[in-house]
C-alpha cells in the first residue's frame, strides 16, 4: 500500500479503516499559511458520503483499486447487474455499494468497475453524462427576482435542478460528482 500527499478527485484512500473514493476535492485556504483540501468522500462498501478536510501535505494511504470498463445491464429489483467488458463476467452490487451513481444508470451505460483484491466493490460513472428530460414542469418566480431554477426529471427518474428554459424532451449534461446541471446537451 502506498501513500500520497496529493489528494485528487478519483483516488481511493484509506480513511478511518475503510476505502473511500474522493468524489470531489477542493482547495481551501483559511489563512495564516495553512492550506487544506476539502474532500467529498464516498465509502465504497456502503455508499455513505461524508465531507472531510485534510491538511495539505498530510499523507494518506492509497487503496489499490483496479478499474476496468463495464456495462450496466439491469436491475433485478434488488441488485444492480453489470458485465465486465474485459472478462465478460457478470457481477451484481447492491444500491449501497453504488451510492449516488444509481441516479445515473440507464441500461447499457458504460462505466468503470472498481475491484479491491479482485472483488468488485463499486462502480464509477463518467464525470459528465447526457440524459433526456422526461418531465420539466414550467417554473415560476417566487419572491426573488432571480434567474431561478426548477426541478426536472431525467430518464432514470432522478431529479436535477435546471434553468427555467429547459423543457421536456431536451437533452441535458449533468455533472455526476456534484449532481448538478452543466449545460444543454
Partner 1 sequence: MQCDKTTAKTKVECHMKYVAKNRSSFIQKIRDFFVHADFLEVETPIMTPIPGMEPHLTPFESRLNFPSVSNSKTADLPVYLNTSPELQMKKLLGSPEGFDKIFNITKVFRNGEMDGPLHNPEFTMIEWYRKNADYKDLMKDCENLILELVRINRLKTIGADETQNNLAVSQTAAPQIPSLTYQSETINLSTPWPRFTTNELFIKYCGLDLLENQEFATFKKNAEAKNLDTNGCENWDDIYFKIFLNNIEPELTKLNQPIFIYDYPASQAALAKKSSSNQFFAERFELYIKGIELANAFSELTDSKEQLARLLEEQNLRKTMGKTILPIDEEFLSALEAITTPTAGIALGLDRLIMLLLDKKSIEEVLLFPMNKMAK
Distance in Å, CB of 50 to partner 1, minimum: 10
CB of 175 to partner 1, least distance (A): 11
CA distance 92 to 80: 5
Decide whether 118 or 147 has the Cβ nearer to partner 1.
Answer: 147
**Which of residues 121 and 136 has its CB atom nearest to partner 1 in the complex?**
136
| Least spacing, CB of residue 181 vs partner 1, in Å | 10
Q: Can you give the binding site for partner 1, defined by CB under 8 A?
A: 26-36, 38, 51-59, 138-148, 163-165, 180, 184
Distance of alpha carbon 20 from alpha carbon 45, whole angstroms = 8
Nearer to partner 1, 38 or 132 (CB): 38
* CB nearer partner 1, residue 108 or residue 146: 146
Shortest Å distance, C-beta 56 to partner 1 = 8
Amino acid at each position: 500500500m502506498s501513500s500520497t500527499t496529493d489528494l485528487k478527485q478519483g483516488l481511493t484512500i484509506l480513511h478511518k479503516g475503510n476505502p473511500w473514493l474522493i468524489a470531489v476535492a477542493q482547495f481551501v485556504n483559511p489563512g495564516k499559511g495553512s492550506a487544506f483540501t476539502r474532500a467529498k468522500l464516498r465509502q465504497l462498501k456502503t455508499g455513505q458520503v461524508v465531507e472531510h478536510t485534510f491538511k495539505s501535505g498530510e499523507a494518506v494511504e492509497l487503496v489499490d483499486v483496479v478499474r476496468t470498463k463495464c456495462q450496466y445491464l439491469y436491475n433485478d429489483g434488488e441488485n444492480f447487474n453489470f458485465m465486465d467488458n474485459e472478462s465478460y463476467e457478470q457481477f451484481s452490487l447492491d444500491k449501497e455499494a453504488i451510492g449516488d451513481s444509481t441516479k445515473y444508470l440507464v441500461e447499457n451505460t458504460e462505466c468503470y468497475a472498481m475491484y479491491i483484491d479482485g472483488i468488485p466493490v463499486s462502480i464509477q460513472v463518467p464525470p459528465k453524462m447526457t440524459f433526456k428530460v422526461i418531465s420539466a414542469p414550467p417554473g415560476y418566480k417566487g419572491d426573488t427576482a432571480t434567474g431561478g431554477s426548477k426541478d426536472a426529471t431525467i430518464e432514470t427518474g432522478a431529479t436535477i435542478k435546471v434553468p427555467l428554459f429547459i423543457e421536456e424532451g431536451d437533452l441535458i449534461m449533468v455533472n455526476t460528482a456534484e449532481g448538478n446541471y452543466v449545460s444543454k446537451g
